[in-house]
Structure 1
Amino acid sequence: MKTTLVSLAIASAVLAGCSSTPSPSASAPSAPAAKSTAQSARVNLASASGSLVSGTLTVTPMGDGVHVAGEIGGLPPGSTHGFHIHEKGDCSAADASSAGGHFNPAGSAHGKAGAGAHHAGDADNLIADANGVAKVDAHFGGVTLGGGAANDVAGKAVIVHASPDDYKSQPAGNAGARVACGIITVAK
């Protein structure tokens, strides 16, 4: 029995020496997080699906993502609308369906930004004032502006929907028709 215990102790010591955890300096460096290479972009929203909705937005890198600001007019007074970045920079279809689905490089489920799983292109609903104008002040985390990384929003479409996003219906929140579309165009 004593020989068995000694043999186990020696085997444990040998195995412990073989399975050390590398020091932080010995570990492989992690890939640097993608960073925005553009300082700003503009979105000229044009009407889609027979609406009169239009507007102008600016996109700037901020913190862990991009900030989108501006005004959208031509909405019914007091109405609420889904607002998203979509995967393709194509507004050529009359109903803006050419913009594809929500921008979703991580393959996440649709949801409310800042409240669990959601697409990178998901944002809070917009609310029009009594004059049918919605002021946009939205942050999209985990994305970049320029640089060509998988999470780059440059060249993608911004869509305003006819109805509010319910933040749960898959894959797009049941936000209805696309009433405006514009491309995120990097300033030169």
Structure 2
Amino acid sequence: MKTILMKCCVSAVFLLLAACGLGQGQQHSQDEYQPATEVNKESVAPLTVELMDTKGAKVGKATFTEEKNGVRIKVEAEGLIPGRHGFHIHEIGKCEVPDFKTAGGHFNPYDRKHGFKNPKGPHGGDLPNLEADKRGKINAETFASLVTLAEGKPNSLLDVDGSSLVIHAGPDDYETDPAGNSGDRVICGVITK
């Protein structure tokens, strides 16, 4: 029984090597046999978005970096009231002062309801609240797992009409549809290449 089992194992190994082309005397370089690593197939350059207030003055920037399972967003802004502020990606790449309503509603490619606490949510553009310090400054980083910078995908921030990053006057309650009762839009930036 051991002999039969051994022959089967050896045969299986030879078949595997033959299928890979190794049993036919082919030469392969050392580099071809490096261990596989996770690679993001999308080659997307990071984007920097300028942020402006309701008067059109530049008040900060955000950097978007494509990663394996979403987009990392680093935001720096000033001129806010100290405390928590709703933070969302909106569906249209337009930030017209003074109210930024041209940015449309939240980016919502999956047709969900608003909020992390909502059983039918969240929107693709829902992000955690930001905390402005006592000087009204924000320096934060978050991760958006439901969006991509890769063009041509249904959840791409770089679709035909683009998208915008918006900071609101008040905190998001993470459940009230459509915007978490987060108040006026006070800072906006167009997400574009």
Q: Structure 2-normalised TM-score?
A: 0.71
Partner residue in 1 for 2:17 = none
| Cα distance in 2 between the residues matched to 1:147 and 1:51 | 28
**Bigger shift: residues 36-45 or 166-175:** 36-45
Q: Is the contact made by 1:42 and 1:56 (CA closer than 8 Å) also made in structure 2?
A: yes
Give SS of 2:127's match.
coil
- Does the CA contact (< 8 Å) of 2:81 and 2:132 recur in 1? yes
Q: Which residue of 2 aligns with 1:172?
A: 179
Asked if the contact 1:35–1:144 (Cα under 8 Å) also holds between the matched residues in 2, the reply is: no
1:65-116 deviation per Cα after TM superposition (whole angstroms, max 9, x unaligned): 1000031111123x11000000000112420000000000000111128x87
- Give the gaps of 5 or more residues in structure 1: 1-33
Match for residue 181 of structure 1 among 179, 188, 193: 188
Say whether the 8 Å CA contact 1:53–1:75 is kept in structure 2: no
Question: 1:35: how far off?
Answer: 6.4
Task: Give the corresponding residue for 1:61.
Answer: 66
2:113/2:120 contact within 8 Å kept:
no
Q: In structure 1, how many angstroms separate the alpha carbons of the residues matched to 2:58 and 2:85? A: 11
How far is the alpha carbon of 1:36 from its aligned partner?
4.3
Q: Which residue of 86, 94, 103 maps to 1:82? A: 86
The answer to whether the 8 A contact 2:95-2:190 is kept is yes
Aligned to 1:40: 46
- In structure 1, the partner of 2:20 is none
| Higher RCO (CA 8 Å, separation ≥ 6 residues) | 1
- Equivalent AA in structure 2 for residue 85 of structure 1: I
Partner of 1:71: 76
2:52 maps to a residue whose letter is A
Aligned to 1:17: none
2:166 corresponds in structure 1 to: 159
Alignment-mate amino acid for residue 41 of structure 1: L
Residue 54 of structure 1 contacts residue 72 of structure 1 at CA under 8 Å; is this kept in 2? yes
- 2:90 is aligned with what amino acid? H
Deviating above 6 A after TM superposition, structure 1's stretches of 4 or more consecutive aligned residues are none
Residues 92 and 37 from structure 1, CA distance in 2 versus in 1: closer, same or farther, beyond 3 angstroms?
farther
Amino acid at match of 1:99: A
Q: Equivalents in 2 of 1:166, 1:127: separation in Å? A: 14
Name the structure with the higher helix share.
2
SS in 2 for 1:55: strand
Question: C-alpha distance in 2, partners of 1:88/1:156?
Answer: 4
CA distance in 1: counterparts of 2:113 and 2:133, whole angstroms: 30
Could you tell me which runs of 5 or more consecutive residues in structure 2 were left unpaired when the two chains were aligned. 1-39
For 2:174 and 2:116, locate their aligned partners in 1 and report how far apart those are by CA, in whole Å.
Answer: 5
1:148 paired with 2:152, answer: yes
Q: Does 1:101 align with 2:105?
A: yes
Distance 1:35 1:98 in 2: 33
- Rounded Cα–Cα distance in structure 1 between residues aligned with 2:125 and 2:142: 11
- CA 1:178–1:53: 2 relative to 1, 3 Å: farther
